[in-house]
Structure 1
Amino acid sequence: MAGRPGSVRARTTIGATAVVAGALVAAGLAVVLLLRANLTGQADLRAEVAAREVASQLATGVAYRSLDLPDAEDHPVQVVGEDGRVRAVSEDLEAVRGTGSPGVRPGAATRGDDDDRGDDRDDDPGRGEVSDDDPKLTTGTATVDGRTADYRFAAIEVTTPRDETVTVYAGADLAAARDATGTVARAMLAGLPLLLAVVAGVTWLVTRRALRPVEAVRAELAEITSSGDLARRVPVPDARDEIAGLAATTNETLAALEESVARQRGFVADASHELRSPIASLRTQLEVAAAHPELLDVDGLVEDVVRLQHLAADLLLLARIDAGERPPARPVALGGLVRDELDRRAPRDRIPVQASVEADPRVMGVPGRLVRVLGNLLDNAERHADTSVRLSLREEGGRAVLRVSDDGPGVPAGDRERIFERFVRLDDARSRDEGGAGLGLAIARDLVRAHAGTLTVGEAPGGGALFEVRLPVT
């Protein structure tokens, strides 16, 4: 499992690595963008400070030729009048692009229309004042001493004491900001593969450790499957996690499967044993009849065939119940069903049934199977009764309650659950049991449970056994 590309371990490692890679790329991009914005903001501030320093000199009346201008490589400066002519520039500044003022040498005119600023004179600062408005910030290039670089430019308006309004353009070099951003980006790109390798390795190891109990469970299940030994169990890890829960549930499933297989094997063995007796009897009678036709016991043959027929029908019904067969249910009037079954059985009953049908509750069920439950209970009661069999039907607390009792020897308290097991007969306690295979009560309880009901046995008020069926009413 550990080496397959399609394994949970490999998929988890790939998925975790991909998620971390995406998160790191997004975080790195955000850091780079924030760093660039921060450094650009600092460049804007430096450009504005440089422009305001020059503007302050002009506001105090310093002549253009006497201006103390900063070094052109750090802060290229040019002063442009309202007529579009350059009044002053930094030393060695050869060209400026991107500020809207292409002229660089004193006296050079811009490409703009001189009349375009006429409407803005009302917004000019007062005589000897520097504009309080936020500077206009642009990104452009400047060529200083033959070297062209990118700059952030700030434009500040100022009115000299001679009532001449000019604009001071000052730049701040972006090389440092871009170098810092590039360095950070390269460092992140260089560290990303190493970090992803660490994430992948850790995820691989952690997943291997987490899935080790799963592999142990899988290997043990494979051994159980190959050996067929359902008594074995998978190992349950000490940790109280989902894998421990899976292992515990697997062991519960194996226990239920072992019980089911053991029960099925016992059922097959018991069925074989029950079938062997009537088949052996039939064979004996047929062999005798073949040798001595005058000794043929037809009644005995018919009795054995009927017994075989009933046993085969019971085995088939149990097989269908075990297979989960559920015929369509419909509302059934239980009172009418009980009366019809009693009328049908009356001519052949060994002991007449004393019935008390006090209600006619409706239940959801299969009429044929409900009749089978009633018939099995009455057959059992008549087989063990001394003189009387009683039946009552009523509705109690939203449930239909059917009781069948006899005045026979009853069922000992220790055997009241065992009699519902298949092929169980209490021959010593119920001496009149003749020819039964021990399936009637087992079939009755299985059918009642299939109808969401219960079947229990207790002691009748006058002695004997009392069987009680409870079914939910509709």
Structure 2
Amino acid sequence: MSSVRARAALGATAVVALALVGAGIAVLLVLRANLTGQAGLQAEVVAREVAGQLALGVPYDGLETRDEEDHPVQVTDEEGRVVAVSKDLQAISGTGTDRVVPVRPSVTGSSGSSGSSGSSDDGDDGDGDDDSAAPGRGETDPDDADFSNGTATVDGERADYRFASVRATTPAGETLTVHAGAPLAAEQQAVGTVRDSMLTGLPVLLLVVAGVTWLVTRRALRPVEGIRREMAAITASEDLGRRVPEPDARDEIARLARTTNETLAALESSVERQRRFVADASHELRSPIASLRTQLEVAAAHPELLDLPGAVADTVRLQTLAADLLLLARLDAGERPGGTRVDLGRLVREEVARRTGDRIAVTVSVPEGERFEVTGSRGQLARVLGNLLDNAERHARGAVEVGVRAAGRGGVVVSVDDDGAGVPPGQRERIFERFVRLDDARSRDDGGAGLGLAIARDVAVRHGGTLTVGEAREGGARFELRLPGAD
């Protein structure tokens, strides 16, 4: 099922259905238990009434029960033989015996039951007692009654009953068990009515839940559909300047729309930066290539006019520019620096010692005997130092100084100072953009393509550090490279 609305409606309906079915079953069980308990209580009352009569010595044929059609009674002796039954009782089950015909005469010598249903011999029972003579007084069992479910046929009608069994002792010392029943028709009717009502109302309620969930989900997902349509339009038009609509609410969908617009803005900025980079790179490459081609064409026609040093210079410049562009491409692709431990103090000394042809001598200020280790790529960090020193050499009047010191929390700071004109505060971030030159000193003929500082900052960021520019003590520019120390 591909629709979120359909899945949400189906899921909500299934959950509600399970909850309602569980609740319905629980209600039916509780209702049945309560009604069955009430029927059992009625049966126990009847059974105890009959047991009380037996305890008083009332003969079997003189037993009286309330509403004999609704409360059938069966009396058994210790051996499970039936000694008395209620009037019109034709069949019974669930009491331990299904006999409904008494097998013994009454305790006073009379025969039969209260309803004369299948009476036995008319004489005495051999004990010489008269029917009306009930010597002494018996007792009933005060313990809780035993309950069971069964059926009984009274006057030709068969029904389900809840039976209560109570024991009683006659004045003659005989223990009898009275089984009295209460009809379960009311319980069955009530449970059936509730069950039918639930079965009728459940589908209707589930349809209502499904419909409401569908409508609510549709309304909630309407902004998502608007976002989807706008994103599809942006993809089709390739216009990254467009934005998706943002709902007024402060829910997850509104946050999704804002995040989407932020992503589009970042993507637009990245694409624009890439386009500008490609255009600037093409422009920068065109100049040395055109110069080199011109010199080669002149040399082909007039070998004696070949400017070999100029051709070599253009080739070197072209090679350097291509290397810078390749490094920037790798940095933009997310290339991670290596995990080598690099001593920045030693790296600074080596880099300065390598620069033998500089216009201005570089002063190194690194504490002796201390190590300033960071983790990263030795080659890329050397490239950052080289670019910063190149920049200082182009702008310094007569002094360039590089120093290394420890910073807080285990960090390391490398500073490069010159005594040139410095960088105006309003331009201190712009100089780190690619192909940016602030003045004539940064001309192509002077060796700068506007990539050195951009590369230096990108490498610093990739190493978890920063590269900033400020004012030096001599009034020139101070570039500070801050890197976290090695663990």
TM-based fold match above 0.5: yes
Q: Does 1:324 align with 2:320?
A: no
Contact 1:360/1:394 (8 A) holds in 2: no
Q: Which residue of 2 aligns with 1:120?
A: none
Show CA shifts across 1:5-41 (max 9, x none). Answer: 3221111111111111111111111111111111111
Within 5 Å, which residues of 2 pair with 1:250-289?
Answer: 250-289=260-299
Q: Which residue of 1 aligns with 2:383?
A: 372
Give the one of 341, 351, 363 matched to 1:354: 363
> Partner of 1:185: helix, strand, or coil?
helix
**Residue ranges of structure 2 left out of the alignment (5+ in a row):** 106-135
Q: Which residue of 1 aligns with 2:420?
A: 408
| CA displacement at 1:179 relative to structure 2 | 2.0
Equivalent position amino acid for 1:48 in 2: E
| CA displacement at 1:164 relative to structure 2 | 3.1
| CA displacement at 1:135 relative to structure 2 | 0.8
Q: Does 1:169 align with 2:187?
A: no
Show CA shifts across 1:321-371 (max 9, x none). Answer: 0000114222111112112212222x2222111101114211011100000
Within 5 Å, which residues of 2 pair with 1:63-212?
Answer: 63-107=59-103, 127-212=137-222
Distance in structure 1 (CA, Å) of the matches to 2:104 and 2:268: 103
Q: Which residue of 2 aligns with 1:445?
A: 457
| CA displacement at 1:460 relative to structure 2 | 1.0
Show CA shifts across 1:156-215 (max 9, x none). Answer: 112233433322110011122112212211211111111110010000000000100111
Q: Which residue of 1 aligns with 2:479?
A: 467
Distance in structure 1 (CA, Å) of the matches to 2:20 and 2:285: 75
TM-score by length of 2: 0.90
Contact 1:71/1:91 (8 A) holds in 2: no
Contact 2:394/2:441 (8 A) holds in 1: no
Equivalent position amino acid for 1:361 in 2: F
Summarize the Cα distance change of 1:208–1:431 in structure 2 as closer, same or farther, 3 Å threshold: closer
> Partner of 2:48: helix, strand, or coil?
helix
Distance in structure 2 (CA, Å) of the matches to 1:431 and 1:310: 15
Give the one of 441, 447, 452 matched to 1:435: 447
Which moved further from structure 2: 250-259 or 270-279?
270-279
Distance in structure 2 (CA, Å) of the matches to 1:430 and 1:286: 27
Q: Which residue of 2 aligns with 1:419?
A: 431
Q: Does 1:52 align with 2:55?
A: no
Contact 1:70/1:77 (8 A) holds in 2: no
Summarize the Cα distance change of 1:71–1:431 in structure 2 as closer, same or farther, 3 Å threshold: closer
Q: Which residue of 2 aligns with 1:244?
A: 254
Distance in structure 1 (CA, Å) of the matches to 2:233 and 2:443: 49
> Partner of 1:141: helix, strand, or coil?
strand
Distance in structure 1 (CA, Å) of the matches to 2:482 and 2:65: 107
Distance in structure 2 (CA, Å) of the matches to 1:18 and 1:424: 64
Summarize the Cα distance change of 1:330–1:431 in structure 2 as closer, same or farther, 3 Å threshold: closer
Contact 2:56/2:137 (8 A) holds in 1: no
Q: Does 1:395 align with 2:395?
A: no
Distance in structure 2 (CA, Å) of the matches to 1:313 and 1:50: 108
Show CA shifts across 1:206-245 (max 9, x none). Answer: 0000100111001100000100111100001011000000
Equivalent position amino acid for 1:384 in 2: H
| CA displacement at 1:429 relative to structure 2 | 6.9
| CA displacement at 1:433 relative to structure 2 | 7.4
Contact 2:93/2:151 (8 A) holds in 1: yes
Summarize the Cα distance change of 1:432–1:276 in structure 2 as closer, same or farther, 3 Å threshold: closer
| CA displacement at 1:430 relative to structure 2 | 6.1
| CA displacement at 1:290 relative to structure 2 | 2.5
Q: Which residue of 1 aligns with 2:128?
A: none
Q: Which residue of 2 aligns with 1:299?
A: 309
> Partner of 1:348: helix, strand, or coil?
coil
Equivalent position amino acid for 1:362 in 2: E
Q: Does 1:32 align with 2:28?
A: yes
Within 5 Å, which residues of 2 pair with 1:201-240?
Answer: 201-240=211-250
Show CA shifts across 1:249-296 (max 9, x none). Answer: 000000001111111111111111111111221222222222322211
Q: Which residue of 1 aligns with 2:15?
A: 19
Equivalent position amino acid for 2:212 in 1: V
Contact 1:356/1:391 (8 A) holds in 2: yes
> Partner of 1:150: helix, strand, or coil?
strand
> Partner of 2:446: helix, strand, or coil?
coil
Q: Which residue of 1 aligns with 2:470?
A: 458
Equivalent position amino acid for 1:324 in 2: G
Distance in structure 1 (CA, Å) of the matches to 2:284 and 2:380: 24
Equivalent position amino acid for 1:438 in 2: G
Contact 1:409/1:430 (8 A) holds in 2: no
Summarize the Cα distance change of 1:58–1:406 in structure 2 as closer, same or farther, 3 Å threshold: same
Contact 1:409/1:429 (8 A) holds in 2: no
Contact 1:384/1:406 (8 A) holds in 2: yes
Which moved further from structure 2: 427-436 or 216-225?
427-436
Summarize the Cα distance change of 1:280–1:419 in structure 2 as closer, same or farther, 3 Å threshold: same
Distance in structure 2 (CA, Å) of the matches to 1:326 and 1:468: 22
Contact 1:383/1:433 (8 A) holds in 2: no
Equivalent position amino acid for 1:343 in 2: A
Show CA shifts across 1:403-423 (max 9, x none). Answer: 111111111111111111100
Equivalent position amino acid for 1:413 in 2: P
Distance in structure 2 (CA, Å) of the matches to 1:127 and 1:370: 115
Equivalent position amino acid for 2:359 in 1: R
Which moved further from structure 2: 33-42 or 163-172?
163-172
Percent identity between the aligned chains? 69
TM-score by length of 1: 0.92
Summarize the Cα distance change of 1:170–1:356 in structure 2 as closer, same or farther, 3 Å threshold: same
